[in-house]
Structure 1
């Protein structure tokens, strides 16, 4: 007798896994994971990366006086402004990985 013959089968003859417990329970029902402060920090960083920085890039031509006061050209500002959320998200990813590894 092969292992496939001893396994329970559905009407189509394929293997069906029948876990013990409630079949309607969500997969995360037993975990104690919460969204927490780090989750909201990630949401905030994503808002900055996908809403605020693109809006600031659209407003760069109108803010040329401020950009020149910082010692940057318009081209420099277009290149460096997206790096701010990129570095922040990268640092957050490293912090999150180290934190989850420590737990």
Structure 2
């Protein structure tokens, strides 16, 4: 018998869905509360803060801030909020918390 003939049991056949990889891991159920907080902060940073600057551009000057300082400082507030919430939500996701 030659070595190139193989029995039917020795051949590999891929069958989708017949995998034991990740069988003990639960299926993800969605964003969770931390994910929704992150979505809310992204919406705040992208829509609310720029919209407020567009609709009422004199608001910082009414608070006593010079125009240049206000236009430099205003984008930092949503950037810091987004950064803090993103790190908070990802550290919880890597620990397995909700």
1:88 equivalenced with 2:84 (yes/no): no
Aligned to 1:20: 17
Within 2, Cα distance between the matches of 1:32 and 1:101? Answer: 13
Within 1, Cα distance between the matches of 2:75 and 2:83? Answer: 13
Aligned to 2:28: 32
1:102 offset after TM fit, Å?
2.0
Is the alpha carbon distance of 1:76 and 1:34 closer, same or farther for their aligned partners in structure 2, counting shifts above 3 Å? same
Is the alpha carbon distance of 1:87 and 1:18 closer, same or farther for their aligned partners in structure 2, counting shifts above 3 Å? same
Query: Any unmatched runs of 5+ in structure 1?
Result: 9-16, 22-29
Tell me how large the CA RMSD over aligned residues is.
2.4
Determine which structure has more spread, i.e. the larger CA radius of gyration. Answer: 2
Residue correspondences, number = 80
1:38-85 C-alpha deviation (Å, 9 max, x unpaired): 1221121111111111112213533255231xxx21111111111111
CA contact (8 A) 1:67 1:77 kept: no
- Which structure's relative contact order is higher, taking Cα pairs within 8 Å and 6+ residues apart? 2
- Runs (4+) of structure 1 exceeding 6 A deviation are none
Within 2, Cα distance between the matches of 1:77 and 1:95? Answer: 27
CA contact (8 A) 1:45 1:89 kept: yes
Aligned to 2:7: none
